[in-house]
Amino acid sequence: MNKKKNLIMVILLLAGVSILFSSMIQQETAKELFEKALYLEETKGDLEKAIEVYKQVVKKFLDERATAAKAQLHIGLCYEKLGLKEAQKAYQNVIDKYPDQTEAVKAAREKLSLLLKAQAVVEKGDADQKIRKIYESTEKAYGFISPDGKNLALVGGEGDIWLREIASGKETRLTQTPSFKYWCFWSPDSKTIAYLDVLNGLYVVPVKGGEARALIRSDSDFIKEGNFAWPTGWTSDSYMILCQVPKRGLCAIPISGEEWKDIFKIPDQKTDEDFSLLTLSPNGKFLAYESNNDIYIMPAVGGQSIQITNHPFPDSWPVWSFDGKWISFYSTRSGTNEIWVKMISPDGHPEGEPIQVFRGLSTRNTFYNWVKDGKIGISLNTSVSNIFISDLETGEETQLTHIQTFERNPRWSPNGRQVAFISFREGKSDLWTISSQGEEAKKLTINVPNPKENRYITRPSWLPNGKKLVFGGFFGYGNRGIWMVPVDGGVPQKMKFDFDPWIECCDVSPDGSYIAFDYIGTDEGNPIKGSRTFEKDIYVIPFKDGEPQRITKIEKSGLSFYSPRWSPDGKRIAFRSRNWFEDNEGKESEEIWVCEFPGGEPKAITKKMKGNLTHLSWSPDGKTIVFSKLENNKEQIYAVPSDGGVINKLNIEGFSPDFSPDGKKIAFGRRLPGKVEYWLVENFLPLVKGRK
């Protein structure tokens, strides 16, 4: 009898464990399934497949109401991106079925309100909005569609420009130079491509083939003096490139090489930020620009500006359609990075409500441009990187983070229990920490200044007591410098080092007495005295207060120094260098240096090499420095003796390595396989009452 009773108890116990285990699995599966759908939507761009998976979440996990509500909301977002009327019904389902999920309901109401407002203003034509993928590649970096819609200008992984015929798929290489090109601007007649190289040299190349011609050479005095000309468009005759030049205004640069023409000069008592990203309308009558996170239009001959957008969230980067009837712009007004358009009347006034074209853009490596028939092409790069740890004794690797986003720059805490890193998992650059055992990550940069504006955070550095982290970066305009945040999270506090334009990478000394940082100066505002305005240098400043001391007193044109890192004993500083003029010629141009502190002279401990070197880290005994280098399109981690010597390749694929305090492990970032996708958005422009 006792045996039978015991057997029943065991069965009941097992059943209870089974139910508990099943419940745990279901919760995990709900989360995993939602993240799978989110990856399909935001990274892969496969909206129809994402909808299928979101519907599975809604159907299978009725008790997981928070996750199900988010899934139902994203069904609406996907339908809206596809331009389908089912979006309204999906949003209404969130409101009707999940009234207890306040955040999801609020977002659904906002989206539904925008859709209904748009319907009240416009009469839709016969065709529905379509979004279709016309190209993808694992070899190219990004692309730009020609105004006639026939070709793509593609930037290859090696940095050259290729022409791809969309109909046939035929590709032709247009440039073959050592410099990397990172932006293309089509002429309105689709016959010429302008591009920038890494030094902001401006060139043009004919689509039919031929030699590229320099309009601003990379080694010109204009560039060496710290200037640049940023293309914002073309004149409608395809004869001149429109460029904003800091402290000057909007200029038209003839592709023939003739003298520049000033279109608009920045008025006295005004700054470039008051008239950012100036661009000329196709008929030459109006200027569009960004100011105070909104879009404005003014007559090209001067006069009163008219505000085109007025929204709590930032609107930026205005671009004219080829017929001059619309202005497109970036916005985060729906909670993600998006493209919107606004109708402009013949007299330069806004008409109707703005229309959302595309939602869910990445903050990195995303580009778009208009086609003449009212379409918009969008280049999306789906690169993902996560944080890993490698055990140097066993070679075993542990993946700490799994979010499908871009994560970088890990730093071990002094006690080795946590790893700090930068993540874009919420759409913007933020500082996070995670247990070195891989538990749930925690966001530190909360309640940041200017939360709606762009921000940038560099590799963090721990204070010796492990209670706070320090980093360089900015939170919107005017909030640039070195920041400090508690390890428990909180409002980042700006430190006193207010040097213009701003401080980037920084590192706190092991005893907490000094901060080393890299810095490039300016001829305006409050720069560090004697700083160079084209090249970066390494400086050291007392942590509490004092004057910065320049460590790299090497006056060589084009030679810049980056990413300082203190040795464990605080007596030396390591950093990397790049000679940009040599790099632009395809030469080996990068080195690693060490300098004794105080009073030492910088010494190169490696020969020149090529490979996009990243942040450095010292072994705890100070004998070895690890770094990463690009090799055969893969980032590999290397080690070099801190006194100089043979460079050894470690069996670790990744970038930005960081030694654990005991020297037994290395944390690093690793890029996962990605690709560039090119999407075409059609039929999003409505037939508006009274406008034909």
Judge contact between 650 and 665, C-beta under 8 A. no
262: which residues sit within 8 A by CB, 6+ positions away? 248, 249, 250, 251, 252
Predicted local confidence at residue 439, as pLDDT: 83
What mean pLDDT comes out for the span 605-625? Answer: 95
Predicted local confidence at residue 29, as pLDDT: 76
**Structure tokens belonging to residue 532:** 């160079």
CATH number of 2-123, picked from 3.40.50, 2.20.230, 1.10.1740, 1.25.40: 1.25.40
Tens digits of residue pLDDT in 173-214? 999 887 777 788 999 999 999 999 888 999 999 999 899 999
Reply yes or no on whether the pLDDT at 517 is more than 90.
yes
- Distance CA(26)–CA(31), nearest Å, equals 9
From-to residues of CATH 2.120.10.30 in the chain: 229-361, 384-672
Predicted local confidence at residue 577, as pLDDT: 98
521: which residues sit within 8 A by CB, 6+ positions away? 501, 527, 528, 531, 532, 533
What mean pLDDT comes out for the span 252-274? Answer: 92
Reply yes or no on whether the pLDDT at 3 is more than 60.
no
Predicted local confidence at residue 116, as pLDDT: 64
Residue 413 identity (one-letter amino acid): S
Structure pTM?
0.74
How many Cβ atoms are within 10 Å of 400's Cβ, its own excluded?
20
- Distance CA(556)–CA(536), nearest Å, equals 11
Predicted local confidence at residue 127, as pLDDT: 56
Reply yes or no on whether the pLDDT at 122 is more than 50.
no
- Distance CA(692)–CA(690), nearest Å, equals 7
Helices then strands, each counted (H, E), the chain? 7, 51
CATH number of 384-672, picked from 2.120.10.30, 2.50.20.10, 3.40.190.10, 3.40.50.300: 2.120.10.30
Q: Which numeric CATH code is attached to 229-361? A: 2.120.10.30
Reply yes or no on whether the pLDDT at 253 is more than 70.
yes
Reply yes or no on whether the pLDDT at 67 is more than 60.
yes
Output the CA angle 474-537-225, nearest 5 degrees.
85
- Distance CA(87)–CA(477), nearest Å, equals 36
Q: How confident is the model at residue 544 (pLDDT cuts 50, 70, 90)?
A: confident
What region does 31 belong to: left with phi over 0, alpha with psi -120 to 50, or beta? alpha
Q: How confident is the model at residue 114 (pLDDT cuts 50, 70, 90)?
A: low
Reply yes or no on whether the pLDDT at 561 is more than 50.
yes
129-217+364-380+674-692: which CATH architecture? 7 Propeller (2.130)
Q: What percent of the chain has pLDDT over 70?
A: 92
- Distance CA(90)–CA(235), nearest Å, equals 43
Tens digits of residue pLDDT in 290-341? 998 899 999 999 889 999 999 888 899 999 999 999 999 999 887 678 899 9
What mean pLDDT comes out for the span 551-579? Answer: 96
**Cis geometry, peptide bond prior to residue 598 (ω within 30 degrees of 0):** yes
Judge contact between 420 and 413, C-beta under 8 A. yes
Q: Tell me the β-bridge partners of 387.
A: 669
Q: How confident is the model at residue 449 (pLDDT cuts 50, 70, 90)?
A: confident
From-to residues of CATH 2.130.10.10 in the chain: 129-217+364-380+674-692
Q: How confident is the model at residue 656 (pLDDT cuts 50, 70, 90)?
A: very high
Average pLDDT, the chain: 87
Q: For the purposes of burial, counting CB atoms within 10 Å of the CB of 577, is it exposed (0-12), middle (13-18) or buried (19 or more)?
A: buried
Predicted local confidence at residue 365, as pLDDT: 72
Q: Which H, E and C letters describe 78-98, residue by residue?
A: HHHHCCCCHHHHHHHHHHHHC
Reply yes or no on whether the pLDDT at 446 is more than 60.
yes
What mean pLDDT comes out for the span 469-477? Answer: 86
Reply yes or no on whether the pLDDT at 41 is more than 90.
no
Predicted local confidence at residue 364, as pLDDT: 65
From-to residues of CATH 1.25.40 in the chain: 2-123
Predicted local confidence at residue 278, as pLDDT: 96
Predicted local confidence at residue 38, as pLDDT: 87
